Structure 1
């Protein structure tokens, strides 16, 4: 049944007054009617050029906890920066040599230590990279896999990739948390499917709701003794995080108002960063396939309707650009590709309508896509790309394309599907 604008507006106001959907009920919230597409969506073709998509129905709302959340963490201890963590990396990941994934333009990479290669508790997902002080740093998100309680949420690995000619890369895991009140915090029960990094802010995809933001200058040290291995939050006179030495707290989030529903309401499966054009953007996209994971916009061809959005950045603050607390996407595309897990801009091109898409289609693939041509595919089955690729990061110089892999279940060899972080020459892939 179609709801008129005025009927929908009245219902939305009533729900807000009743206390429902609080993340969407603020003085700056604008009610937006459902996008009228659905049954009229056109058939899609796998491998076709990107299709421009109307995003006029969609907005994100800043939850505006930028001051409150850091204040909640004050009792936990002094704020630390990413520079401090880079000086305290406690794990060693061997640099890849002859045992490495096949990939066109391969230049180098590393694997995790033996425990992280084999663990079934944590699975790598999103990836980003940047500079902290004098160090080049890669950040990888892992989601907690067991279905039993407690859900430990998402952790990140901070890896120093400054010298990839060395024998190993040093890294450390940090648990992501959300402050709940003064001196209290909880885990982030999300998939960690996408990361990107602007200034001091680390952005993470929140599958159902939008984008969470973490401040890399607000890291806190907690107790890492055996007492804390099974505990979270304050325990007596100390704070615990399941044995992790550091926590990275959320500072705010950009959420889709509850009034925006399917098919306008997208999923936020992965993120990327694009500094081409006049305004840098956060890229967000949807994972969908033709079996158990559908997308809101799939037309008559399930699995191909995943959308890619460009969210403008305020370069003065490194936060998304808001008007009255709301963020509108700059542009959107239908990707015409299934099983997309990551996105990176093609930095050797000045066009903002060309991208790399990381996909687990065909067991692993890298797709070069644009609005002007059908895709170019690099397939793992043809020994052109790694198996089970996830998040990506393209260096701003247009030199390297970094990728993290999820890993094939039960496989630890980097050459046949074990978990790795590697980079290829963008020029070899063009």
Structure 2
């Protein structure tokens, strides 16, 4: 890994587990003020979800868990399979009025041009290259592409999380387009004098599979007042992302999830030397599009789960976000202390199903250096950077069982494309980066 390790120590909790340290972040994940505006609901959905605005609100789910239980055992025997942990030791709390449009986001929309996901994809300005080769040689590759040369070689911007229309909608498309989204985090070379621009998302149009193209969108945190709104970059690691219905969930290592609404993509003025809003004009340096944060889900329990990555299980009942923890010999209580959690969603809204949400399942993974994970029909698929010489493994894990396959080198997050029977991932090392999808039948349960 090309990144520095994060040490997080929590009393009465397993030490925090993350493969890297987040860039310094002066913006609290819950700092967005969600004062709803008169136009707090959008009349159209970027994900094709039905408009239920006229229906009366339904009661939120109430979990039987109390606030705090045991944090569970600190470690597991290596490759011993999933080991259940008491789920009630972990919880996430929803920010106020999440789902409504924050006042500051509405104010920013008044100074910019609101656009749709389709607009961004249609305005792609960078060219990816379809490839048949994935470093590491994983079996069953069905599709793969490489980034444009400067993005492939960049040592400042590193790819991490993956999601797409396969997660977002039942059809796997938005409008008539299919897309893959990948998060990149910025870590400028200290001697360069460059400012940290935080996190950008590559919106990759894969509708024409032989000619993928993409455009970067910068994630921003609204600030200021209704009369004078502005925004800051969001300086986090963004090790995993999920797009479900209208919402983009971004893993924030020690805090939980930051939440963005895909109906609030904004086009801004381009000015390499300017960032933020002044004199009625908003700019984000060289970026033409920004996506403002609308809220968060913050870690509530003292057991302190860590959010190194996240994926979506559309087939679970209810659908769920699956998050997990990276642990190595230099981070966490130990290299085998990493846990995996299933956070239940409300399929009607796209948000977590409770104001305070507990996972429906929690397990120790019994594997080290897990960079991404997903549940598929009850089997945990885990990508790992544990092999030497930049290698990668894919573990298939159930209770008491585990199997290992060769995977892409320097692997990261995972995404399940259930409609096609594919598992997506990506590699992070500069000059060998690729995004790829494999046939799930090439990786049977253990």
* TM-score (ref. length: structure 2): 0.77
**1:194 is matched with which residue?**
240
Return 70-79 or 45-54, whichever deviates more: 70-79
Partner Cα distance (2:413, 2:95) in 1? 26
Distance 1:237 1:309, change over 3 A: same
Distance 1:378 1:150, change over 3 A: same
- Count of matched residue positions in the alignment of Structure 1 and Structure 2: 368
**2:175 is matched with which residue?**
133
Report SS of the residue matched to 1:278. Answer: coil
Return 100-109 or 130-139, whichever deviates more: 100-109
Is 1:312 the counterpart of 2:344 in the alignment?
yes
Equivalent in 314, 321, 346 of residue 275 of structure 1: 314
**1:424 is matched with which residue?**
438
The 5 Å alignment of 1:216-231 reads: 216-224=262-270, 228-231=271-274
Distance 1:99 1:290, change over 3 A: closer
Computing the radius of gyration from Cα coordinates, the structure with the larger value is 1
| Structure 1 residue 147: Cα displacement | 5.9
* TM-score (ref. length: structure 1): 0.80
**1:157 is matched with which residue?**
202
Is contact 2:268-2:282 (8 Å) kept?
yes
Per-residue Cα deviation, 1:278-332 (whole angstroms, up to 9, x for no partner): 20001111111112x21xxx4xxx111111111111111011111xx21121111
Q: Higher helix proportion, which one?
A: 1
Distance 1:97 1:54, change over 3 A: same
Is 1:52 the counterpart of 2:84 in the alignment?
yes
Is contact 2:133-2:144 (8 Å) kept?
no
Is contact 1:76-1:220 (8 Å) kept?
no
Distance 1:378 1:180, change over 3 A: same
Partner Cα distance (2:296, 2:84) in 1? 27
**1:14 is matched with which residue?**
none
Per-residue Cα deviation, 1:1-20 (whole angstroms, up to 9, x for no partner): xx9xxxxxxxxxxxxxxxx9
The 5 Å alignment of 1:215-364 reads: 215-224=261-270, 228-257=271-300, 260-261=301-302, 264-291=303-330, 293-294=331-332, 298=333, 302-322=334-354, 325-346=355-376, 349=377, 352=378, 354-362=379-387, 363-364=391-392
Is 1:93 the counterpart of 2:128 in the alignment?
yes
| Structure 1 residue 191: Cα displacement | 0.2
Is contact 1:365-1:386 (8 Å) kept?
yes
**1:12 is matched with which residue?**
none
Partner Cα distance (1:98, 1:312) in 2? 36
**2:7 is matched with which residue?**
none
Is contact 2:76-2:365 (8 Å) kept?
no
**1:368 is matched with which residue?**
396
Report SS of the residue matched to 1:67. Answer: coil
Partner Cα distance (2:198, 2:186) in 1? 5
| Structure 1 residue 237: Cα displacement | 4.1
Is contact 1:72-1:180 (8 Å) kept?
no
**1:204 is matched with which residue?**
250
Report SS of the residue matched to 1:320. Answer: coil
Distance 1:42 1:255, change over 3 A: closer
Is contact 1:72-1:179 (8 Å) kept?
no
Report SS of the residue matched to 2:329. Answer: coil
Distance 1:335 1:72, change over 3 A: farther
Partner Cα distance (1:99, 1:56) in 2? 40
Report SS of the residue matched to 1:158. Answer: strand
Q: Which runs of 5+ in 2 are unaligned?
A: 1-10, 12-27, 32-64, 166-172
Distance 1:89 1:42, change over 3 A: closer
Per-residue Cα deviation, 1:150-192 (whole angstroms, up to 9, x for no partner): 321100000011232x2x3111111000111332111111101
Distance 1:281 1:36, change over 3 A: closer
Is contact 2:384-2:411 (8 Å) kept?
yes
Partner Cα distance (1:358, 1:21) in 2? 27
The 5 Å alignment of 1:59-98 reads: 59-64=91-96, 65=98, 66-68=100-102, 69-97=104-132
Is contact 2:74-2:337 (8 Å) kept?
no
Return 192-201 or 60-69, whichever deviates more: 60-69
Q: Which runs of 5+ in 1 are unaligned?
A: 4-19, 24-30, 380-384, 413-417
**2:16 is matched with which residue?**
none
Report SS of the residue matched to 2:254. Answer: coil
| Structure 1 residue 101: Cα displacement | 4.8
| Structure 1 residue 243: Cα displacement | 1.0
Report SS of the residue matched to 2:185. Answer: strand
